[in-house]
């Protein structure tokens, strides 16, 4: 049985060595000019250093270029792709055909991962982009377990699934909070970890994440599927992603260690995994922030928002 990749999102360069020790196979990094909702900002010097550290441990690095690109950013795409090619990045994550065109011009052999966050909902779409150069499709967060398995059965490309972390519910190009504070004559110092939208009726708190790409309202709960991995492992899902946005470095390392053990058991001793999977969930619950409950997202067609 093939062992799926464990993909994580470091906050900065200092996170990479402990995440390697924790069992991560690969990393998603980038800078917000090109990538959406990144756990941390990695300027070019840090991208180069991250690749050196990861490759030294035989791990992989993927750089996010899945932002929504307006005309003013298009001219810089080929230069950035050429830089990534020179540094030896293992793949580029994209959602806009403008990136595909830039890659064809500057680095035609560069592996691509198709990721629009929301529209990778069927295997026809995955294969469409596969035939145009993508080697992987990042499944939408709104898919059920059955839909994911059906997608994998029919896909001509690798399939990546998020298994841990918060998900985005809403995005606007507008800097809604920044504009609000500016209207009041105040300067807004962005503190993404402490900005929340309160829903008193449902007793929910929705984190608000603001970056160069606009405003993002995130889910009130964190997805966690550590006790439901077996079926996806058996189906051959290629990559499990832990999204560390708005989490501490310590939390990401701790969760990575738990998923490493769970994935290894799924492949090497499935019966033992079945016997201990509830314990994995309990361990995640113990380190989970008090204001962030866990749920299974859309995996079992639940209403989670």
Give every CB contact of residue 71 below 8 A, 6+ residues apart in sequence.
none
| 207-230 per-position pLDDT tens digit | 777 777 767 676 778 899 999 999
Indicate the pLDDT class of residue 184, thresholds 50, 70 and 90. Answer: low
The per-residue b/e assignment along 212-235, b for 16 or more CB within 10 angstroms, e otherwise, is ebbbbbbbbbbbbbbbebbebbeb
Measure the CA–CA gap between 68 and 166, rounded to whole angstroms: 20
Q: What is the third-level CATH fold of 5-167+222-293?
A: TIM Barrel (3.20.20)
DSSP output for 20-83: HHHT--EEEE--TTTSSS-SS---HHHHHHHHHHHHHTT-EEEEEE-S---HHHHTTHHHHHHH
| 36-62 per-position pLDDT tens digit | 888 899 999 999 999 999 999 999 999
Indicate the pLDDT class of residue 118, thresholds 50, 70 and 90. Answer: confident
| pTM, full prediction | 0.89
User: Which of 231, 159, 237, 164 is CA-nearest to residue 3?
Assistant: 237
The residues that bridge with 242 in the sheet, in sequence order, are 8, 164
The residue extents of the domains of the chain are 5-167+222-293, 168-218
């Amino acid at each position: 049985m093939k062992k799926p990749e464990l993909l994580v999102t470091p906050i900065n360069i200092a996170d990479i060595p402990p995440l390697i020790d924790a069992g991560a196979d690969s990393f998603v990094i980038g800078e917000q000019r090109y990538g959406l909702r990144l756990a941390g900002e990695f300027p070019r010097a840090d991208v180069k250093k991250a690749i050196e550290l990861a490759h030294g441990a035989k791990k992989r690095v993927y750089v996010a270029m899945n932002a929504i690109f307006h005309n003013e950013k298009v001219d810089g795409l080929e230069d950035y792709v050429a830089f990534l090619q020179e540094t030896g990045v293992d793949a580029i994550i994209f959602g806009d055909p403008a990136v595909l065109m830039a890659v064809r011009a500057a680095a035609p052999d560069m592996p691509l991962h198709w990721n629009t966050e929301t529209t990778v909902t069927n295997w026809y779409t995955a294969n469409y982009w596969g035939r145009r150069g993508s080697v992987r499709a990042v499944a939408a967060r709104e898919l059920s377990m059955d839909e994911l398995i059906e997608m994998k059965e029919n896909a001509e490309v690798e399939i990546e699934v998020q298994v841990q972390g918060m998900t985005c519910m809403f995005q606007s190009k507008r800097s809604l909070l920044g504009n609000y504070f500016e209207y009041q004559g105040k300067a807004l110092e962005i503190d993404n970890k402490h900005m929340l939208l309160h829903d008193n009726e449902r007793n929910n708190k929705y984190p608000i994440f603001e970056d160069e790409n606009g405003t993002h309202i995130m889910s009130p709960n964190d997805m966690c599927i550590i006790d439901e991995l077996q079926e996806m492992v058996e189906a051959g899902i290629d990559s499990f992603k832990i999204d560390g946005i708005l989490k501490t470095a310590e939390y990401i390392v701790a969760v990575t260690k738990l998923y490493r053990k769970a994935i290894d058991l799924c492949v090497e001793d499935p019966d033992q995994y079945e016997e201990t999977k509830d314990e994995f969930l309990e361990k995640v619950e113990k380190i989970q922030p008090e204001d962030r409950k866990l749920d299974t997202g859309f995996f079992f067609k639940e209403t989670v928002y």
